[in-house]
Amino acid sequence: MGTNKFPVGVIPYVAHRAHAMPASIHIAVEGGHGWLSFASEDPDVTMPGRDADAATEQIAEDLRHLSPDQLAERTLGGDRGVAKPLATSDGQVFDLLPVQKPRIQKTRRQRQRWQRRAARRKKGSQNQKKAYRKAARYQRYEVNVRQEYAHQTSHALVVNAAYDLYAFEGLPIKNMTKRPKAKKDAQGHFLPNGAKAKAGLNRAILSSAWGQVVTFTRYKALRQGKLVIMVPFATSSQECAVCTFTSPDNRLTQAEFVCQRCGHIDNADHNAAVVIAKRGIKKLLSGDSLTTPHKTTRIFQKLGPERSEVTPGETYIRHAKPAASTHKSRNQEHLGVIRETPTSTRQG
Query: Tens of pLDDT along the chain (348 residues)?
Result: 778 888 878 888 888 888 888 888 888 877 777 778 888 876 655 544 557 788 888 898 989 999 889 999 999 999 999 889 999 999 999 999 999 999 999 999 999 999 999 999 999 999 999 999 999 999 889 999 999 999 999 999 999 999 999 999 988 988 889 988 888 888 888 999 889 898 988 988 988 899 999 999 998 998 888 999 999 999 899 999 999 999 999 988 888 999 999 999 999 999 999 999 999 999 999 888 787 776 777 766 655 555 444 444 444 445 455 555 544 444 444 444 455 545 554 444
- Could you tell me the maximum CA-CA distance found in the chain, to the nearest angstrom? 93
- Residue 249, H or E segment: none
Beta bridge partners of 257: 251, 266
**Chain centroid to CA 241:** 29
What would the 3-class secondary structure string for 54-122 be?
HHHHHHHHHHCCCCHHHHHHHEEEEECCCCCCEEECCCCEECCCCCHHHHHHHHHHHHHHHHHHHHHCC
Task: Give buried/exposed letters for 75-106 (b at 16+ CB in 10 A, else e).
Answer: bbbbbbbeebbbbbbeebebebeeebeeeeee
Query: In residues, how long is the chain?
Result: 348
pLDDT of 13: 82
User: What Cα–Cα distance (Å) separates residue 164 from each residue in 74, 111, 231, 306?
Assistant: 5, 42, 16, 58
Contact 217, 158 (CB under 8 A): yes
Beta bridge partners of 117: none
pLDDT of 50: 52
CA–CA separation, 186 vs 192, rounded Å?
A: 14
CA–CA separation, 150 vs 215, rounded Å?
A: 9
pLDDT of 308: 45
Provide the whole-model pTM.
Answer: 0.75
pLDDT of 158: 95
Phi, psi of 52 (to 5 degrees): -65, -40
**Chain centroid to CA 337:** 35
pLDDT of 314: 46
